[in-house]
Amino acid sequence: MNGIEFILAGMLAAATPFLLAALGELVVERAGVLNLGVEGLMAFGAVLAFIIVYHGGGHLLGFVAAGLGSAALSLVFAVIAIGFRANQVATGLAIGILGQGLSALFGKTYESLTVKGLPKLAFPWLSEIPIFGRLFIQDAVVWLSLAATFAIWAMFAHTKTGLVVRAIGENPKAAHAIGYSVIAVRFAAAAFGGAMAGFAGAYAAVVYTPLWADGMIAGRGWIAIALVVFGTWLTGRIFLGACLFGAVSLMGLAAQATGLDVPSQLLASLPYLVTIVVLGIISADRRLLKLNGVASLGEPFEH
Amino acid sequence: MSASFGAFLPTLVRRERGSLAATLLAPPIALAVATILNLGLYVLMGRDPAAVVYAMLLEPLLSWASFSEVLLKAGPLLLIAQGLAIGFRAKVFNIGAEGQFILGAIFASAIPVWFPQATGQWIWPVMLLLGAAGGALWASLTAFWRVRLNANEILVSLMLSLVAAQLLNYLLLGPWKDPNGFNFPQSVMFQYDAMVPLLIPGTRVNVSLLLTIVLSIAAWIFMQKSFIGYKLKVGGLAPRAAGYAGFNQGWAIWLCLLIGGCAAGLAGAAEVAGPLGQLQRSISTGYGYAAIIVAYLGGLHPIGIVFSALIMAALYIGGDNAMVSANLPIAAVRVFQGSLLAAYLIAVAFVRYRLEWRRLAYRSQA
């Protein structure tokens, strides 16, 4: 398998944790809330899923537990930041630290243990195309996360729910005045974002690299938040960004496999360095950020 | 308003003036709430809560030997938090102090690693200066990205922390590894003159604590008494008003990040030239992140931060005790830190708001 085939084969799977968490954060931010706790929410979901799968509960139950657990933790964020109108940056950091701490605490006795991943399912016909066919051999969660991407795009583009969420992010006062509950929608968005971060963590811990290690999320939650900015709050661009980061995180492995003499630490920092560079490039175009940005992002709502 | 029929909902009502009582009570109440919540968690985990309370909260304060360790731990937390708080007041969210700390430690280590035979009383002061410069340099990347490229400083500074951790690994596994160190990822032990002199005989507390106290006083004067500090605070409270008054936002971001970077870098240098005596992989144990909590818990006020740094340091030492005597994983400290900040953020809401029970009246008030 050459380098391109290697990256095509693994890119979508590597992109999935970024994608799921970023889609969740997209919905949260569209509702006007900045939740910086994604890294901790992912870690919490990851450990819950790992414990359940390790004890024979199966992947489905593992994902359900991760989704519910991280949604619950995200609701704690909502109570503090939306209910009590605390600084959203500080609250997100608190929840992030809490989630990472809880994951280390619960995962302590599972350190370095492994579970079985998920089988790959080939898309009929398409998977037989030479070279590119590899893109169509993926596990069930990758297929589902593609469906989720489409569903969230459709929600924002074509449904009233999407419109309400966007209105609340743009102008909460106006949305409140015409009778929508800003607080309730923001709580729901936070819970949804938490569940998606939980799924993302579960994917990392029980499918992508089915082993538990403290700190295994390794900044992916933060990159997911950056992806929302890269994607200028648009679903399709966030998907492309996630694929880019899937490919970047594989480039390290590919370079090592070909025997390239590069320090492994440099390869490990590649996703972070790429994040810094891309963030600079995208943000420098202020008009682009303003165009699709969320007007009330990070501001508490008081009526 | 006070009719007692129908559905009642708790509503936060803005106070006309912030409550001083709530300001002062928020940290101790948050500490009490976080303690109760965490004790509940330990009981669920099958631990004896009394043993944990003793090991975690009392033991660090009961003997001079362990209290001196609390002082030692409080030093870097205090220093970093003072630097970060200045930025937070100005709404510059540098959360990359961890990376700036690591770079400070690396820069300071350059002298003993490259010149292990050098002697003279100049070595440790120069190392501290180099450390501050290293931290400032790392922070200046974030400042450049923020001011020139408009990139979010939270994300950039955090990513740079992750890069710094890899840079440290690279040095310790590669060019800076001690050839006689049995393959451990650590540098050579520093020579005598590369160590900060001890302040209190019989403990590990060194002169850098004195420096930290002096810098805390400087932070207080800077934020409470100087015109620049005033400008930064106005910029944080009302950025538009600050803009109209001619206060340059880009300049404020540079200043805040450089101050934060210097403080964190200095703390990193003091750690390797102090209790550690060499560059190691585990130089930080999360000081850069814990200092964020210290800064908030201290109400972003230089004096409050002194107290919150002591509390957080005691928690670290207590966590080590609890690991030994109550069989509690050290991760429990992180959970405590996270819940402490969460509880504080709720408690501090009562500075600006008071809780009223109001009837559910949704549309009519709009």
Q: What is the ipTM of this complex?
A: 0.94
Q: What are the tens digits of pLDDT across the range B269-308?
A: 999 999 999 999 999 889 999 999 999 999 999 999 999 9
Distance in angstroms between the alpha carbons of the first and the last residue of chain A: 60
Whether A174 contacts chain B with CB within 8 A: no
pLDDT at B341 over 80: yes
Task: Give B2's pLDDT tier (boundaries 50, 70, 90).
Answer: very low
Whether A85 contacts chain B with CB within 8 A: yes
In a domain, A214, yes or no: yes
Other Cβ atoms within 10 Å of A162 Cβ, number: 17
Other Cβ atoms within 10 Å of A253 Cβ, number: 14
A169, A29 contact by CB (below 8 A): yes
* B149, B171, B364, best to mutate vs chain A, most A CBs in 10 Å: B149
Record: contact B166-A176, CB cut-off 8 A: no
> Three-state DSSP class for A189?
helix
Strand B8-14 with A137-139, pairing? unpaired
- Chain A closest-CA separation from residue B207 CA (Å): 31
| Pick from A100, A214, A269: CB nearest B163 | A269
In a domain, A40, yes or no: yes
Residue corresponding to tokens 């596994």? B173
User: What is the SS3 string spanning A236-302?
Assistant: HHHHHHHHHHHHHHHHHHHHHHCCCCCCHHHHHHHHHHHHHHHHHHHHHCHHHHHHHCCCCCCCCCC
Whether B80 contacts chain A with CB within 8 A: no
Weakest mean pLDDT among B153-167, B225-239, B290-304 = B225-239
Residues near A218 by Cβ (< 8 Å), separated by ≥ 6? B162
Chain A contacts in chain B segment 291-330 (CB below 8 A): 292-293, 296, 329
Task: Give B237's pLDDT tier (boundaries 50, 70, 90).
Answer: confident
Cα–Cα distance for residue pair A12/A239, rounded to 1 Å: 10
Specify the higher pLDDT residue, B53 or B134: B134
Per the structure, the count of domains in chain A is 1
Q: What is the CATH number of the domain that holds A198?
A: 1.10.3470
In a domain, A79, yes or no: yes
pTM of the model as a whole: 0.95
In a domain, A133, yes or no: no
In a domain, A128, yes or no: no
- Chain A closest-CA separation from residue B122 CA (Å): 34
B347 phi, psi to nearest 5 deg: -60, -40
Burial degree of B183 (CB within 10 A; 0-12, 13-18, 19+): exposed
* B335, B336, B344, B360, best to mutate vs chain A, most A CBs in 10 Å: B335
- Chain B closest-CA separation from residue A120 CA (Å): 32
* Confidence at residue B361, expressed as pLDDT on a 0 to 100 scale: 54
In chain A, what residues touch B148 (CB-CB under 8 Å)? 284
Cα–Cα distance for residue pair B128/A236, rounded to 1 Å: 49
Cα–Cα distance for residue pair B79/B101, rounded to 1 Å: 11
* B12, B44, B45, B155, best to mutate vs chain A, most A CBs in 10 Å: B155
Mean pLDDT (whole number) for B259-269? 98
In chain A, what residues touch B166 (CB-CB under 8 Å)? 265-266, 268-269, 272
- In this prediction, the residues of chain A whose per-residue pLDDT falls under 50 are none
Cα–Cα distance for residue pair A29/A35, rounded to 1 Å: 8
**Domain boundaries, position A77:** 3-115+142-292
Specify the higher pLDDT residue, B186 or B9: B186
pLDDT at B4 over 60: no
Residue A89: its H or E element: helix A88-107
Output DSSP code: residue A80.
Answer: I
In a domain, A124, yes or no: no
Record: contact B167-A176, CB cut-off 8 A: no
- Chain A closest-CA separation from residue B140 CA (Å): 14
- Chain A closest-CA separation from residue B293 CA (Å): 8
In a domain, A197, yes or no: yes
| Pick from B155, B296, B348: CB nearest A279 | B155
pLDDT at B360 over 70: no
Query: How many pairs of residues across A and B have Cβ atoms under 8 Å apart?
Result: 151
| Pick from B93, B155, B338: CB nearest A101 | B338
* Confidence at residue B199, expressed as pLDDT on a 0 to 100 scale: 93
In a domain, A94, yes or no: yes
Chain B contacts in chain A segment 135-164 (CB below 8 A): none
- Could you list the beta-strand ranges (E) of chain A: 120-122, 137-139
* Confidence at residue B102, expressed as pLDDT on a 0 to 100 scale: 98
Weakest mean pLDDT among A47-51, A97-101, B11-15, B170-174 = B11-15
Strand B353-359 with B8-14, pairing? antiparallel
Task: Give B366's pLDDT tier (boundaries 50, 70, 90).
Answer: very low
* Confidence at residue B224, expressed as pLDDT on a 0 to 100 scale: 92
